[in-house]
Amino acid sequence: MRRLFFVLIALVLFQSFAGALVYKDRIGLIRVVSEETISVWDGTKLWTEKDLNLPFAVHDFTVKNGVIHAIYKDKNSYNYVFSSNNGRSFGYPLTLNQSPLKRVSPIFVSDNLLQFAAIDKEGKKIDCFESLNSGASFSKTEIDLDGFRGGEEILALSGQIILKTFENNRSKIHLFKKTDGVWKNYLLYEGSDIIGGLKLKVLDNDLFLLSFKANGLTRFGILPQLNQVIAEKVDDFFYDNKKLYWVSNEILHETIIDLGIELIKPMAGQWFKPNSSLVIEVKNILPGTKVLVDNQFTEVKFSSKGTGFLSLGAFNLKEGKHIIEVRSEPLISRKSYFLIDSTPPSAIPPQSPTAEKDKVALNYIENGSGIDLQSSLIEISSGTLEVFGTPEVTGNSIAFIPSAPLKFGSYKIKTILRDKAGNSAAPQEFSLLVGDSISAKGAKSIGSAVIKSGPNPFNPESEEWKLTCTLTSPLETKLFIFSLTGRNIWSISSPSKDTHTLSWNGKDTSGSHLPNGVYLYALLAGGQVERGRIIIFR
């Protein structure tokens, strides 16, 4: 819808300004240019030179965040001014030159940079003006053109300069890029045809679309590739939603244009372990493409299809977010980010060694990439029989939903939790007790049974702990002993009768003596449970 809106606006303006050039400019505004005037549509108002209240001829102007930036010529001097009050007044002008200039570039504006450049009349140097505070102040650097036969056209963009020259009957397009404070020169294009009409559109912070005319045809390309699309008699163009639009003979045309190098993998937000390897997949890879992780260069060998592998172990990466960049000099750079998680998840021993018949809940700690249920192991068994069911994650809890309600008795749960980064926790085992209504809040006491137990504390070297249960009717009973972590360490059953006497000698199921401490017991009878604590003290 947004693209359609701009296309309709362009068509309406085109009809309203016969003979004028109508297009969407590099900062997303609809611009109208004719021999008499320059106008900008900002979505609400059509700005013209008359709106600017400037008593001089405007060379170029643009509107960004409500601020009008303009360059005008007064006799032989070029000047820059800006206005933040809708053109009602302008600040003190900045004079760009003391000596005559051959050419001044259009104004380039991004969120944090205002830039333009000028060639002196002799074509021996370029003055590059840059402002990081919306034009309040500028820094100026010079590019020596020694060895060039003068520049004929010039564009400025994001810390870079594009210059067209004609040398030894050859047309050339040069890119000057500022790297570490030094301007470097790259040759983007060379041909025998006479070229001109350089125009530039900014697609995003890393991609730039350039056009130029040669023998009546217009060539388009994503820098530094300049031969992707060729069209006839192009007045101007803009790019939106993966399509290139251009105006030719008062007709708006469109085509899909290749964006050049693209970083497909790793996908943004993907998780990895610190010492793992990740797959880098690059679409339309160019020779000499380099890879950087947090601005550190690393050697990656790419296949002809643009696939490579990167080992993260050499970077000593901390947990959290990291930037990966693929860069093809001189201009193309694509960035994404990935995340590091070095800590495996950990299951928390149940506070109460019980579970419900239709659900087993297990809490865990995982503060990174999250639990990966597909690769985690969660097994529940009763004796030699495995319990089948479906695990579900809710918050920091795993709920195991059995395929059929669990029967009364003791169960073991075994976990090997893994997170989405591939970290694996050590195997853990817990014991669980299932009754009719076993949850901590829903458990009922065993009717009007009389239950006595003791001694408590008891010394297993000289005595046994005994529990006597007198029921109102004959029932089978089961006694379970647990550690405080919920591990079932001992159990015994008693057949159906009125009175049960059960004893425990302070040993686990393997016959080993247990250390001093607090232990939990659960007595089951008729689907009801009675709980208590036992203290071993020698």
Rounded to the nearest 10°, the torsion over CA 490, 495, 501, 507 is -20
Span 346-434 CATH architecture: Sandwich (2.60)
Residues of the chain with pLDDT > 70, as a percent, come to 81
User: Taking the CA of residue 502 as centre, how many other CA atoms within 13 Å lie in the half-sphere pointing to its CB?
Assistant: 25
Structure tokens at 89: 């007044």
Least confident of 17-26, 348-357, 399-408, 442-451: 17-26
∠ CA 10-12-15, rounded to 5°: 105
Q: Is the pLDDT of residue 34 over 50?
A: no
pLDDT tier at 331 (50, 70, 90 boundaries)? low
Give the closest residue to 157 by CA, choosing from 99, 117, 214, 198: 117
In 10 A of CB 57, how many CB atoms? 9
Least confident of 38-42, 188-192, 211-215, 529-533: 38-42
| This model's pTM is above 0.85 | no
Structure tokens at 356: 């419900």
Span 2-256 CATH architecture: 7 Propeller (2.130)
Give CATH for domain 262-340. Answer: 2.60.40.10
Domain map of the chain by residue range?
2-256, 262-340, 346-434, 450-536
Taking residues 364-372, report their average pLDDT.
89
Structure tokens at 212: 């130029």
End-to-end CA gap in the chain: 81
Residues in Cβ contact with 161 at an 8 Å cutoff, skipping those fewer than 6 apart: 105, 117, 126, 128, 143, 154, 155, 175, 176, 183
* pLDDT in the model for residue 438: 33
pLDDT tier at 19 (50, 70, 90 boundaries)? very low
Q: Is the pLDDT of residue 88 over 70?
A: no
Helix (H, G, I), strand (E, B) or coil at 532: strand
User: Could you give phi then psi for residue 6, rounded to 5 degrees?
Assistant: -70, -35
pLDDT digits (tens, 9 = 90+) for 253-299: 888 876 667 888 999 999 999 999 899 998 877 777 889 999 888 88
Give the closest residue to 172 by CA, choosing from 149, 143, 155, 156: 149
Chain mean position to CA 337? 5
Length of the chain: 538
Least confident of 27-36, 60-69, 151-160, 509-518: 27-36
Q: Is the pLDDT of residue 36 over 50?
A: no
Give the C-alpha separation, 524 to 438, whole Å.
Answer: 10
Number of H-type helices and E-type strands within the chain: 2, 46
* pLDDT in the model for residue 178: 78
Structure tokens at 24: 């969407």
Do the beta carbons of residue 411 and residue 431 sit within 8 Å?
yes
* pLDDT in the model for residue 435: 55
Q: What is the DSSP string of 439-503?
A: STTT----TT-EEEEE-SSB-TTT--EEEEEEEEEEEEEEEEEE-TTS-EEEEEEEEEEEEEEEE
Do the beta carbons of residue 208 and residue 159 sit within 8 Å?
no
Q: Is the pLDDT of residue 437 over 90?
A: no
Fold of the domain built from segment(s) 450-536: Immunoglobulin-like (2.60.40)
Q: Report which DSSP code applies to 289.
A: -
Q: Is the pLDDT of residue 227 over 70?
A: no
Least confident of 268-277, 330-339, 453-462: 330-339
Structure tokens at 419: 């997170």
Give the C-alpha separation, 463 to 485, whole Å.
Answer: 25
Residues in Cβ contact with 5 at an 8 Å cutoff, skipping those fewer than 6 apart: none
Maximum Cα–Cα distance for the chain, whole Å? Answer: 116
Q: Indicate the average pLDDT of the chain.
A: 79
